[in-house]
Amino acid sequence: MSAQKIPATLIPGDGIGPEIMEAALAALEAVGAPFEWEEMPAGMGALKSEGDPLPGKTLDSIRRTRLALKGPLETPVGGGFRSINVRLREEFKLYANIRPARTLIPGGRYDNIDLIVCRENLEGLYMGYEHFIPIEGDPHAVAMSTGVNTRQGARHILEYAFDHAIALGRKKVTVVHKANIMKALTGIFLETAEQMFEERYKGKIQFEQVIVDACCMKLVMNPWQFDVLVTTNLFGDILSDLTAGLVGGLGMAPGSNIGADAAIFEAVHGSAPDIAGRGIANPTALVLAAALMLDHVKQQDKGDRIRQAVSDTLNVDNVRTGDLGGKASTREYTEALVARIRNNG
Ligand code: NAD
């Protein structure tokens, strides 16, 4: 009897997107993933073919499936287009951006890293509510930016972070803030975290708070003291690139965007236009995003098989792409990965 199919939207994306998506799909097929794909356009490709970088039919598909695997999207410069990724987050209320960072290649500067950054995805300074005030002929004499954080927004991401950490058997949640200076904007986040911990999570998991600048220093000096980090949008953007750097760079970093109306899985990196079409991109981040998608639909055993095969391909078979100092093309790496998945059983 064949397992039940799960409809899901597939967005190959721009630049290296289609090349790395091929690898992710091959890995998913090799583990027998249950997804039934609706392939949809978005990004520069969609602007050319449909006249819109985020066509209505793509949004309709995600509304139907509530689940998507997405390659990187290039937001057209000029022409008044807003970031497609921000539009997707808003459209589907994707309030939690979860970025795990695990050491995949031992022997580097940092071994045994296993961190998760939970980033608020819809509020704060990152939303870019900005304007200039002209003075005496200088149109840019003063620049202003407004950040908005709400109790409800903080609750959503904090609840997800605590619940996710407990479900994964993690030990500690650290809330990262700047409440000593931005007493309202990030104070509300810290205050909500402390309240929620007292009311709902005390005794279930450890909890601590740290100021964002000290957090950066501590992550570089001794990242092993942290476990799950939860923070506001802009700090999460920065901290998750820092943690990706600890485990070998953006080519290794997957991310999930979880919301009330959908969940979208992607690589943290962009479309890498400098290497697009050359067949040399590292598909690991998107492959790991596909594994997160399997976890999300409660098929973690299959997700684990992909993660194990990635580790074996990189470390036992020593097949690596150029960004990791290897010589393998995207396709050679993918073939080795699929062989690993099949051989590991
Ligand atoms: P980028 O992440 O595309 O590239 C930065 C550098 O990392 C480049 O040198 C690139 O070659 C390298 N790199 C990235 N991914 C790699 C991979 N998988 N394998 C090997 N090398 C890799 O960042 P950018 O150049 O600032 O952005 C390019 C475009 O991507 C922009 O249009 C940006 O808006 C978009 N972008 C999209 C997303 C997304 O869709 N989630 C995220 C970031 C940037």
> How many degrees, rounded to 5, is the angle at CA 279 between CA 278 and CA 281?
100
Residue 317, pLDDT > 70, answer: yes
Query: How far does CA 7 lie from the centroid of its chain?
Result: 21
pLDDT above 90 covers a percentage of the chain that reads 86
Query: Average pLDDT, stretch 333-343?
Result: 97
- Give the residue, by CA position, lying nearest to ligand 1 atom 38: 270
CATH of 1-92+261-345, one of 3.40.718.10, 3.20.20.140, 3.40.640.10, 1.10.10.10: 3.40.718.10
| C-alpha distances out from residue 53 to 9, 66, 94, 131, 197, Å | 16, 20, 19, 25, 41
pLDDT for the residue 161: 98
- Give the residue, by CA position, lying nearest to ligand 1 atom 40: 72
**What's the pLDDT tens digit per position in 291-301?**
999 999 999 99
pLDDT for the residue 1: 45
pLDDT above 70 covers a percentage of the chain that reads 98
**What's the pLDDT tens digit per position in 123-172?**
999 887 889 999 999 999 999 999 999 999 999 999 999 999 999 999 99
pLDDT for the residue 315: 95
Side-by-side strand order, sheet with 114-120: 35-39, 6-11, 67-70, 263-267, 254-258, 96-102, 114-120, 228-231, 172-177, 206-211
- Give the residue, by CA position, lying nearest to ligand 1 atom 32: 74
Residue 83, pLDDT > 70, answer: yes
pLDDT for the residue 118: 98
Instruction: Pick from 21, 99, 268, 269 the residue to mutate for probing ligand 1's pocket: most ligand atoms within 8 Å of its CB.
Output: 269
Residue 82, pLDDT > 60, answer: yes
CB 65 within 8 A of CB 34: no
Please state the domain extents for the chain.
Answer: 1-92+261-345, 105-112+123-249
Q: How far apart are CA 148 and CA 125, in angstroms?
A: 7
Instruction: Pick from 84, 247, 250 the residue to mutate for probing ligand 1's pocket: most ligand atoms within 8 Å of its CB.
Output: 250
Closest ligand 1 atom to the C-alpha of 71? 40
Ligand 1, CB cutoff 6 Å, lining residues: 16, 20, 72-75, 85, 250-251, 266, 269-275, 281-282, 285, 323
Kindly state the tokens that stand for 43: 């990004």
Query: Which of 72-81, 138-147, 191-200 shows the lowest per-residue confidence on average (mean pLDDT)?
Result: 72-81
Residue 260, pLDDT > 70, answer: yes
CB 330 within 8 A of CB 23: yes
CATH of domain 105-112+123-249: 3.40.718.10
Closest ligand 1 atom to the C-alpha of 84? 40
Rounded to the nearest angstrom, the distance between the alpha carbon of 235 and the centre of ligand 1 is 20
**113 phi, psi to nearest 5 deg:** -80, 135
Reported as a pLDDT band with limits 50, 70 and 90, residue 2 is low
Rounded to the nearest angstrom, the distance between the alpha carbon of 250 and the centre of ligand 1 is 8
Rounded to the nearest angstrom, the distance between the alpha carbon of 272 and the centre of ligand 1 is 4
**What's the pLDDT tens digit per position in 220-247?**
999 999 999 999 999 999 999 999 999 9
Nearest to 294, CA basis, from 15, 23, 18, 24: 24
Q: Do domains 1-92+261-345 and 105-112+123-249 have the same CATH topology?
A: yes
Rounded to the nearest angstrom, the distance between the alpha carbon of 13 and the centre of ligand 1 is 12
Query: Average pLDDT, stretch 303-330?
Result: 96
pLDDT for the residue 61: 98
Mean pLDDT for the chain overall: 94
Instruction: Pick from 237, 265, 271 the residue to mutate for probing ligand 1's pocket: most ligand atoms within 8 Å of its CB.
Output: 271
Query: Average pLDDT, stretch 91-118?
Result: 93
pLDDT for the residue 38: 98
- Give the residue, by CA position, lying nearest to ligand 1 atom 5: 272
To which H or E segment does residue 143 belong?
Answer: strand 138-146
- Give the residue, by CA position, lying nearest to ligand 1 atom 13: 272
Rounded to the nearest angstrom, the distance between the alpha carbon of 182 and the centre of ligand 1 is 31
